[in-house]
């Protein structure tokens, strides 16, 4: 009986070592690729930029850095990630800096609901930083949240199979794709941009004015990072359908395009512009940014 138990323990230990080795290899391969935006940023060859666009899906799909650069003569990179919030923007900015990158300006694309949220949580796509779990700033970020997903991600520093198995389809399968083609990107171009098609899913609603309130604690963390690294912080609110954001006494450069576009033909849905809307919003922003 004792021998049987020892064999079971031994086989279990070998199995755990095996799956951890596979998980480690998966994270290693993914970490050398450009598949997700944190990987793209870390492995991007250019080090210095005139500006970066930081935000969620609205930043990703509203400001086209290629068009901005053609108008301003600047060199920018879109580091926005879809399905994220201000906490994710903070860790992306931290990751950008820790990866040895520099930028004169940080264009923070905000949403009125997110920036007013005083109880931030782990965002849906924060697992994309998992290949960098051995970096202290990533582990610390995950440890700031008290959820099952956050704990699994944090503990992956010691047992990588925890995060890889939990986010199997999002981590392991992309690592196989990246093994074959490390330059493959997940829905963004070689300057970090993505665009929604012209087909519309806009729901009609009454016009409304909304007061911008800054209560999210991660906003102050972003401000501190910008100050520490001598980045000019520029707040940007993208166009949203039939919503006019009112901002009073905001002590930062604020480009408010919330009501820039009125026709539903420029929107993919109520909060995202389509291809034509992106072009108009980008042109208007470039004029504001141009020296």
Is 222 within 8 Å of 242 (Cβ atoms)? no
Question: 236-272, pLDDT tens digit by residue?
Answer: 999 999 999 998 888 899 999 999 999 999 999 999 9
Domain total for the chain? 1
pLDDT at 8 over 80: no
pLDDT bracket for residue 69 (50, 70, 90): very high
**Average pLDDT over all residues of the chain:** 94
Q: What is the mean pLDDT of residues 169-185?
A: 96
- CATH code, 255: 3.40.50
Of 278 and 18, the structure prediction assigns the larger pLDDT to 278
Q: How far apart are CA 198 and CA 277, in angstroms?
A: 9
Q: How far apart are CA 285 and CA 63, in angstroms?
A: 8
Q: How far apart are CA 274 and CA 123, in angstroms?
A: 24
pLDDT at 282 over 80: yes
pLDDT at 11 over 80: no
What is the span of the domain harbouring residue 43?
2-289
Q: Is 183 buried (19+), middle (13-18) or exposed (0-12) by CB count in 10 A?
A: exposed
What confidence score (pLDDT) does residue 183 get?
96
Is 219 within 8 Å of 86 (Cβ atoms)? yes
What confidence score (pLDDT) does residue 216 get?
97
- Count of CB atoms within 10 A of residue 251's CB? 7
What confidence score (pLDDT) does residue 7 get?
58
Task: Write out the E strands in the chain.
Answer: 48-54, 76-78, 102-109, 208-211, 232-237, 243-246, 253-256
Q: Which of 22, 23, 17, 44 lies closest to 33, judged by CA? A: 44
Q: How far apart are CA 257 and CA 93, in angstroms?
A: 23
What confidence score (pLDDT) does residue 251 get?
86
Question: 105-119, pLDDT tens digit by residue?
Answer: 999 999 999 999 999
pLDDT at 20 over 60: yes
Question: 129-150, pLDDT tens digit by residue?
Answer: 999 999 999 999 999 999 999 9
pLDDT at 3 over 80: no
In sequence order, the 6+-apart residues with CB closer than 8 A to the CB of 206 are 242
Supply 183's token pair. Answer: 């330059």
């Amino acid at each position: 009986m004792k021998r049987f138990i020892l064999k079971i323990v031994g086989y279990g230990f070998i199995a755990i070592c095996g799956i951890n080795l596979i998980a480690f290899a998966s994270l290693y391969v993914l970490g050398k690729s450009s598949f997700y935006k944190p990987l793209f940023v870390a492995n991007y060859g250019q080090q210095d930029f005139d500006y970066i666009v930081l935000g969620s899906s609205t930043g990703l799909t509203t400001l086209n850095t290629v068009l901005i650069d053609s108008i301003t003569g600047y060199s920018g990179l879109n580091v926005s990630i879809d399905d994220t919030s201000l906490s994710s923007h903070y860790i992306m900015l931290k990751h950008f800096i820790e990866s040895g990158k520099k930028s004169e300006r940080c264009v923070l694309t905000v949403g009125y609901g997110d920036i007013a949220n005083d109880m931030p949580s782990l965002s849906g796509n924060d697992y994309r930083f998992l290949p960098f779990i051995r970096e202290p700033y990533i582990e610390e970020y995950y440890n700031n949240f008290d959820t099952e997903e956050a704990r699994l991600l944090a503990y992956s520093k010691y047992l990588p199979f925890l995060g890889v198995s939990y986010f199997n389809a999002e981590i392991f399968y992309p690592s196989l794709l990246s093994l074959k083609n490390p330059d493959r990107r997940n829905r963004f171009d070689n300057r970090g941009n993505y665009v929604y098609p012209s087909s519309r899913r806009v729901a009609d609603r009454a016009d409304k004015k909304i007061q911008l309130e800054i209560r999210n604690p991660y906003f102050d963390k972003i401000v501190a990072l910008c100050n520490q690294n001598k980045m000019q912080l520029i707040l940007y609110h993208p166009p949203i359908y039939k919503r006019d954001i009112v901002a009073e006494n905001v002590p930062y450069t604020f480009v408010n395009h919330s009501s820039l576009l009125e026709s539903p033909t420029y929107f993919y849905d109520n909060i995202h512009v389509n291809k034509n809307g992106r072009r108009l919003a980008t042109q208007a922003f470039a004029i504001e940014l141009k020296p």
